Amino acid sequence: MIAAAGSGQRLGAGGPKAFVELAGRPMIEWSLEAFRAAASIEEIVVAVPPGTQQTVSDQGVVAVTGGEHRSETVAKALELTHSEIVVVHDAARPLVTPGLIDAVVEELAAEDDAAAVIAAAQVTDTIKQASDGGQVERTLDRSGLWAVQTPQAFRADALRVALSDPDSYADATDDAMLVEQRGGRVLIHSSSADNIKVTSPFDLRVAELLLRERR
């Protein structure tokens, strides 16, 4: 399931972020290419902004209109899936690779008591917690901190339970957070920091350089 319903306001895109041109093609096409090449993927569901369903349907994937919040968007996509294991990915991470997608699925399939396996990169910066006024309150131990990414593989039933309370959607920054709150065991798969999320114009330039380098 690819979440591609973001407005792109922070990017200054003037339209949906997933359809901004990146290295010569709409951003979402980079994720679609990776998911089509992944051995573990049987079907792709894409959640998009209203009025853009046909754009992705023409590419042989299932399209659904996204919701107000990210978790609502994922819940709508989940309604159209039938697999025991599902993968959630943000179209804003166009550098995802087929190998990373397959890795999170394979690791989850091998861990019977796990509810999810998520891609993440270990934090290398020093992280400080500060008050609203900007005063440092404490320095966190970075050895146990991870910057969470997508793709994230879930047991579909665990994800459905986690998404069953719409009141929790507004506060959720990722779907694994909701699974954790329900007591689900979530594992980390170490990923490269290159799997960046495109949020700002700077991120877009970096992603383009990395994609052109790969090609």
Walk along the chain (215 residues) and give the pLDDT tens digit of each residue: 999 987 666 666 666 888 899 999 999 999 999 999 999 999 999 998 887 777 777 677 998 988 888 899 999 999 999 899 999 999 999 999 999 999 999 999 999 999 999 999 999 999 999 999 999 999 999 999 999 999 999 999 999 999 999 998 888 889 999 999 999 999 999 999 999 999 999 999 999 999 999 87
Question: What is residue 67's predicted lDDT score, i.e. its pLDDT?
Answer: 87
pLDDT in tens, 192-201: 999 999 999 9
Interatomic CA distance for residues 201 and 70, integer angstroms: 21
Residue with tokens 């051995």: 39
The amino acid sitting at 130 is A
What are the tokens at 143?
């050895």
pLDDT in tens, 75-125: 999 999 989 999 999 999 999 999 999 999 999 999 999 999 999 999 999
Q: Which residues, other chains included, contact 179 with Cβ-Cβ below 8 Å and sequence gap of 6+?
A: 115, 116, 154, 158, 159, 162, 186
Sign of CA dihedral 19, 20, 23, 27: negative
Across-strand partners of 136?
Answer: 130
Instruction: Please report, to the nearest 10 degrees, the dihedral formed by the alpha carbons of residues 151, 97, 92, 114 taken in order.
Output: 0
Nearest Cα residue to 158 out of 126, 112, 210, 202: 112
Domains for the chain: give ranges and CATH numbers: 2-208 (3.90.550.10)
Question: What is residue 133's predicted lDDT score, i.e. its pLDDT?
Answer: 94
Question: What is residue 10's predicted lDDT score, i.e. its pLDDT?
Answer: 62
Question: What is residue 39's predicted lDDT score, i.e. its pLDDT?
Answer: 97
Interatomic CA distance for residues 87 and 78, integer angstroms: 10
